[in-house]
Amino acid sequence: MSRSVSRVTTAGRGADLVVVSITAAAGRDPAPSGPVVVVTANVHGDECTGTGVALRLLPLLEAQLRRGTVHVYPSLNPDGLERRARRVPEDDQDLNRLFPGDPAGSPAERLAHAAWTDLVTRRPDVVVDLHADAPGAIPYALLDRAVSLRGRVRARAEEESARLAAATGLTVVHEYPEARYQRFRLDRSLTGAALNRLEVPTVTIEAGPRLVLDAAAVEDTTRACMALLASLSMVDAPPSAPARAGPQGGPWRRDAGPRVATSGVLIPRVAAGVLLARGAVVAEVRSLAGVLLEEVVAESAGFVLAPVERTHVVPGVPVCTWAMAEGT
Ligand SMILES: [Zn+2]
């Protein structure tokens, strides 16, 4: 096993990125080169689960990696991590909509370019990006849309991404439908760009709350990553996969949940991950005097992925991120 640490200079005032690379020892395997996997975390600086997972993965990989190389980026947005900010503090842009970045652009575009350029030089076979959703959310593996790819290339990238996502043991959810995926510029997220520009299979894992490391979320996500690496024969299978928090079936896709029509106090009525029929009550809105103003019902069969992270709502606010059957 070899371990090396490199730093990526971001050409702005921002902190350097740290990359820790673990390579399996040659000689233990007839094909010691093996796959190259990139694991990135904390592109949204307030989403800390992945940073905790990265730091857990390093000693595990040092002890257990038997084939290939894993490059771990514990934080793609270290200034955001320091400031508890989702965006890049220097210019308040969402780094995860800017890839592959611009060397002559804004600070966030330069950071995206520096991170992207470093990632590309690693020649990854797989990219795994770690995010956090909201308190009360279930952990899930999210699949990008290969909107720029066609034919066999697209099928191969999508199938391999889906296979890797399933290997995590987590509930697998496809991204928003294609038109919204592009309108939200998700093809310029890190995984969206890796899939669409590098034709590399990608998986995003969403787990745990933001801002604080949640032991269960870190544990689940670490096991999910090890299970994914085991499916590539890079490590032995972990003793147990994470408990699947969502319902069986699918494939599922991400959507906005039903929206409230009134202002008031939002009270969730169901836990995330519970399969509901169309018309089931997901949440209610009450006045501060306790009067029931509205029951918010599911517009399709599906389940809550993550409750919205707010208590006072106004008309038009979705009560949750929703998962529904793909193709509906
Ligand atoms: Zn995120």
pLDDT band at 240; cut points 50, 70, 90 = confident
Instruction: For 297, list phi and psi in degrees, rounded to 5.
Output: -110, 155
Tell me the CA–centroid distance for residue 15 and ligand 1, in Å. Answer: 20
pLDDT band at 247 (very low <50, low <70, confident <90, very high): confident
Q: Write down the mean pLDDT value for the chain.
A: 94
- Which fold, 252-325? OB fold (Dihydrolipoamide Acetyltransferase, E2P) (2.40.50)
Cα 47 to ligand 1 centre (Å): 6
What average pLDDT does this structure show over 204-210? 96
- Alpha carbon of 184 to ligand 1 centroid (Å): 13
Phi first, then psi: give them for residue 307, nearest 5 degrees: -70, 150
Q: How far is the CA of 293 from the centre of ligand 1 (A)?
A: 32
What type of residue sits at position 321?
T
What is the whole-number distance in angstroms between the Cα of residue 283 and the centre of ligand 1? 24
The 10s digit of each residue's pLDDT in 261-298 is: 999 999 999 999 999 999 999 999 999 999 999 999 99
- Predicted confidence band of residue 150 (pLDDT cuts 50, 70, 90): very high
- The rounded distance, in Å, linking the Cα atoms of 256 and 319 is 8
* CA gap 202, 160 in Å, rounded: 8
Same fold, 2-231 and 252-325: no
CA of 206 to the centre of ligand 1 (A): 7
Alpha helices, DSSP H, located in 168-288: 178-183, 190-198, 215-231
- Give the pLDDT band (50/70/90) at residue 66: very high
Whole-number Å distance, alpha carbon 96 to ligand 1 midpoint, is: 8
Residue-wise pLDDT tens digits, 3-58: 999 999 986 678 899 999 999 987 555 555 899 999 999 999 999 999 999 999 99
Q: Could you tell me which of 235, 236, 204, 238 has the C-alpha nearest to residue 219?
A: 238
Where are the extended beta strands (E) located within the chain? 2-8, 17-23, 36-41, 69-73, 126-131, 140-143, 171-174, 202-206, 252-256, 264-268, 281-286, 292-297, 302-307, 312-313, 320-325
Domain 2-231 sits in which CATH superfamily? Answer: Zn peptidases (3.40.630.10)
Contact 102, 116 (CB under 8 A): no
Ligand 1 centroid, distance to 28 Cα (angstroms): 37
pLDDT, tens only, 164-187: 999 999 999 999 999 999 999 999
| 94 CA from centroid of ligand 1 (Å) | 9
* pLDDT for res 49: 97
3-class DSSP state of 266 = strand
Question: In this structure, how many other beta carbons lie within 10 angstroms of the beta carbon of residue 238?
Answer: 18
How far does the centroid of ligand 1 lie from the alpha carbon of residue 169, in Å? 20
Cβ-contact 217, 207 below 8 angstroms: yes
Region of poorest pLDDT, from 241-255, 293-307, 309-323: 241-255
Q: What is the mean pLDDT of residues 217-242?
A: 91
Dist CA 124 CA 21 (whole Å): 12
CA 141 / ligand 1 centre spacing (Å)? 12
pLDDT of residue 30: 52
Residues with CB in 5 Å of ion ligand 1: 44, 47, 131
Q: Note the pLDDT of residue 271.
A: 96
- CA 193–ligand 1 middle distance (angstroms): 15
**Averaged pLDDT for residues 226-237:** 95
> Does 103 sit behind a cis peptide bond, omega within 30 degrees of 0 on the bond before it?
no
Look at residue 242 and give its three-state secondary structure.
coil
Domain assignments of the chain as residue spans, ordered by start: 2-231, 252-325
pTM (whole model) above 0.75: yes
Sheet containing 202-206: give its strands across: 2-8, 17-23, 69-73, 36-41, 126-131, 202-206, 140-143, 171-174, 252-256, 320-325, 302-307
Distance CA 19, CA 12 (A): 18
Q: Residue 303: what pLDDT?
A: 97
